[in-house]
């Protein structure tokens, strides 16, 4: 469900309850605040300086989960807090910008304030000013941080209109880990995700459907997509017979309605006789256009996952072919991640979007929103505090030094977002964006000496 694209008049108690019952965790562009405190304005400023998002004031955090989930039922805040929020935002945030605050009656009787932060309305950087303190915040994964010198310079250097479009919390949000091409969400896996959107002309919204012909076109192009080539290259490192194909997922999605098409690739190694084991790589392509509560945009989300658990569970079995035991690698290389992101980007931009966007939008050309990319490691078990970080799935040992304690257990990393003003049409231009983002990722993890290897890819 997308609150950001809905008209304010369309956001009501039923839609709020439906959104909260999805139990989305706090993240880059979603935050829960039980009360109207100074941290609300800090978060609004941080989101305005980054990718935008939604702050739900009057919804407490359930901190027994990491990241926190909404604590239900929402109790809300006082009716006068909306006016106080708007007035204090005008006083505390500089320069001022149009803040969208929608009051909705909560189950507990109070009001939940749906605060929608659109960075396209902000003349960045937005400064949080309190007494003699003037601070610039940016939004990281589920928290706010003060901008460093380079981030400040980048914000001041932005041309007008270059602020990022908002990737709003929804079923297809980059930060929602619940919809991936895996079946066991309790098992360890790493996921790469790229999303791209386009605005649907207002007069086309009622006609924006994904019919049988469009689904058939999608089925026809995916076997030749770059992500299919990447999956098969990883899987083929073990010389055993494999099977895999693109098909609708059997569980996890309602795929029959007119606003959604999902195709998932899962394969298996043949172990002899009737025995098989699920291949470690998987992929998924989802296309969504307005349906029920989503609004205004058509989205393409392309996923790839690496899930070594099923193979590792049988690899010590002496009846399993030696090729599997000896040649299976339970980690991706840095180059695998780099090439995987390029394959996701080019699948989204060059294969899926040109296949479905013209029919849905009713126009031959469109203004692209995104792409945005995200790397995420699943928990080993949601019932424990044990985490399985990105370093478990990507072989980065070569870049660990004795000078810095590496953060290989990091679970998720900040998305990369392509500003609307960027040129992003050739393979080389896309490669530079991915390399720059991976450089920041590895530096944030405390790794060193990877730059020559990354430059040579």
Contacts of 236 (CB under 8 A, 6+ apart): 242
Residue 181 lies in a domain: no
**What tokens does 1 get?**
């469900």
The number of folded domains in the chain is 2
| Percentage, residues of the chain above pLDDT 90 | 32
Name the band, by pLDDT with cuts 50, 70 and 90, for residue 162.
Answer: very low
pLDDT of residue 143: 85
Each residue of 164-212: pLDDT tens digit? 433 333 333 444 434 566 655 556 788 898 988 887 776 677 777 888 8
C-alpha 75/C-alpha 225 separation (Å) is: 48
pLDDT, average across residues 5-28: 81
Residue 425 lies in a domain: yes
Same domain, 26 and 140: yes
Same domain, 126 and 204: no
Summarize the chain as % helix, strand, coil (round to 5).
Answer: 30, 25, 45
Residue 173 lies in a domain: no
Residue 135 lies in a domain: yes
Same domain, 141 and 232: no
Which region holds residue 324: left if phi is over 0, alpha if psi is between -120 and 50, else beta? alpha
Residue 182 lies in a domain: no
**Does the pLDDT value for residue 31 go beyond 60?**
yes
Same domain, 57 and 144: yes
Q: Do residues 451 and 442 touch, judged by C-beta distance below 8 A?
A: no
Each residue of 376-415: pLDDT tens digit? 886 544 444 555 688 888 999 999 988 777 788 777 666 7
Residue 430 lies in a domain: yes
Same domain, 113 and 249: no
Each residue of 32-86: pLDDT tens digit? 999 999 999 999 999 888 877 889 999 999 988 878 899 999 999 998 999 999 9
**What tokens does 341 get?**
């992101």
For residue 27, the domain's CATH number is 3.30.950.30
Same domain, 237 and 153: no
Range of the domain at 124: 8-157
Residue 183 lies in a domain: no
Residue 166 lies in a domain: no
pLDDT of residue 431: 92
Name the band, by pLDDT with cuts 50, 70 and 90, for residue 99.
Answer: confident
Same domain, 139 and 205: no
Handedness of CA 6, 192, 441, 230 (dihedral sign): negative
C-alpha 186/C-alpha 22 separation (Å) is: 18
Strand partners, 208: none
């Amino acid at each position: 469900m997308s609150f950001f694209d809905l008209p304010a008049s369309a956001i009501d108690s039923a839609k709020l309850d439906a959104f909260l019952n999805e139990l989305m965790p706090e993240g880059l562009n979603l935050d829960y605040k039980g009360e109207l405190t100074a941290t609300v304005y800090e978060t609004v400023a941080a989101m305005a300086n980054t990718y935008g998002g939604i702050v739900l004031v009057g919804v407490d955090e359930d901190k027994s989960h990491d990241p926190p989930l909404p604590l239900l039922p929402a109790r809300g805040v006082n009716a006068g807090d909306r006016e106080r929020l708007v007035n204090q935002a005008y006083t505390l945030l500089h320069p001022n910008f149009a803040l969208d605050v929608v009051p909705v009656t909560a189950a507990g009787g109070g009001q939940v304030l749906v605060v929608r932060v659109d960075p396209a309305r902000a003349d960045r950087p937005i400064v949080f000013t309190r007494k003699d303190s003037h601070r610039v915040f940016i939004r990281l994964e589920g928290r706010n941080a003060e901008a460093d010198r380079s981030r400040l310079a980048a914000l001041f250097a932005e041309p007008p209109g270059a602020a990022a479009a908002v990737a709003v919390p929804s079923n297809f949000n980059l930060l929602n880990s619940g919809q991936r091409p895996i079946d066991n969400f309790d098992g360890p896996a790493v996921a790469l995700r790229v999303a791209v959107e386009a605005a649907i002309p207002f007069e086309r919204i009622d006609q924006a459907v994904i019919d049988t012909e469009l689904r058939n076109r999608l089925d026809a192009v995916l076997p030749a997509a770059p992500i299919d080539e990447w999956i098969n290259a990883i899987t083929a490192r073990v010389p055993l017979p494999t099977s895999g194909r693109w098909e609708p997922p059997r569980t996890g999605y309602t795929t029959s309605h007119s606003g959604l098409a999902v195709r998932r690739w899962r394969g298996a190694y043949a172990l002899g006789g009737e025995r098989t084991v699920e291949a470690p790589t998987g992929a998924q392509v989802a296309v969504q256009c307005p349906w029920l509560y989503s609004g205004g945009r058509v989205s393409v989300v392309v996923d790839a996952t690496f899930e070594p658990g099923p193979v590792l569970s049988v690899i010590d079995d002496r009846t399993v072919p030696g090729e599997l035991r000896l040649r299976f690698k339970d980690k991706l290389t840095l180059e695998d991640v780099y090439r995987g992101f390029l394959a996701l980007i080019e699948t989204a931009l060059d294969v899926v979007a040109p296949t479905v966007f013209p029919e849905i939008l009713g126009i031959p050309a469109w203004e692209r929103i995104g792409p945005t990319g995200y790397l995420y490691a699943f928990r080993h078990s949601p019932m424990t505090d044990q985490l399985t970080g990105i370093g478990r799935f990507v072989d980065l040992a070569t870049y660990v030094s004795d000078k810095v304690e590496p953060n290989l257990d990091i679970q998720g990393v900040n998305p990369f977002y392509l500003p609307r003003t960027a040129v992003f049409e050739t393979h080389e231009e896309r490669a530079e964006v991915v390399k720059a983002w991976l450089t920041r990722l590895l530096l944030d993890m405390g790794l060193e000496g990877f730059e020559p290897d990354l430059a040579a890819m």
